[in-house]
Amino acid sequence: MESTVTMNKILRDRLKSLALAAAFALAGVAATPAAEQTLMLYGDSLMAGLGLSEQDGFAGRLQAELGDEVTIVNASVSGDTSADGLARLDWSLGERPDAVVLELGANDMLQGLDVAAMRRNLTAMLERFTAENIPVLLVGMRASPSLGSDYVQEYEAVFPELATQFDTAFYPFFLDGVVTDATLNQADGMHPNAAGVSRIVQSILPSVSALLKSAAGR
């Protein structure tokens, strides 16, 4: 009789231990955060946030929308041309991101630089991202009409053509809905203010979210 009672007690203790182990295991699974992704912003002053606080700049506003599951690395440099971006790409990729938003070329246009050279620079960057298996959202830019119709046509064709060539996600115009509205721009008339950045972030957010979803599937 005593032996039976003892065996029952041992069995109950073992069942309790197994139940506790299962509970802890489930708790551990529930407590494990979703896999974090790293998104690199690779552009010029428009994404660097020139004239704005860190919170009000593009990276800050985008981070607030994406939440803590995404880490934004803002590798954007004010004043950079496409050649500058290509020159610093190796060390910028020192910590490999999961995805990249590529926004370069505006300063090429503002300086009236050779469009064919800009195309070569962007092509080299896209080739590097492709080789690294890093999905890209290519962001386009519009050219000032003051540069002449031939320049405008050649310049604006580069972005969609490269997006097709590399089969990459494409956002046609970073300043869409902002560039012609003085209330959404800083005094220089070229860089968005905090309200303008908010407008841009809301417009581009679906494209960025799709990019991150694509990166997660790789």
Active site residue 191: yes
- What are the C-alpha distances in Å from 59 to residues 52, 65, 104, 159? 11, 10, 15, 22
* Bridge partners of residue 70, in order along the sequence: 37
Helix axes 58-66, 194-216, angle to 10 degrees: 50
- In three-state secondary structure terms, 72 is strand
Options 45, 76, 92, 198, the catalytic residue: 45
DSSP 141-180: -PPPGGG-HHHHHHHHHHHHHHHHHTT-EEES-TTTTTTT
Catalytic residue chosen out of the listed positions 68, 90, 167, 188: 188
> Between β-strands 169-171 and 70-74, what pairing exists: parallel, antiparallel or unpaired?
unpaired
Sequence-distant (6+) residues with CB within 8 A of 144 are: 109, 110, 152
Q: Which tokens belong to 154?
A: 């050649």
CA-to-CA dists, residue 9 to 2, 13, 14, 23, 165, angstroms: 11, 6, 9, 21, 71
How many CB atoms are located within 10 Å of the residue 69 CB? 11
Question: Catalytic residue among 76, 108, 191, 198, which?
Answer: 191
**Could you list the active site residues?**
45, 188, 191
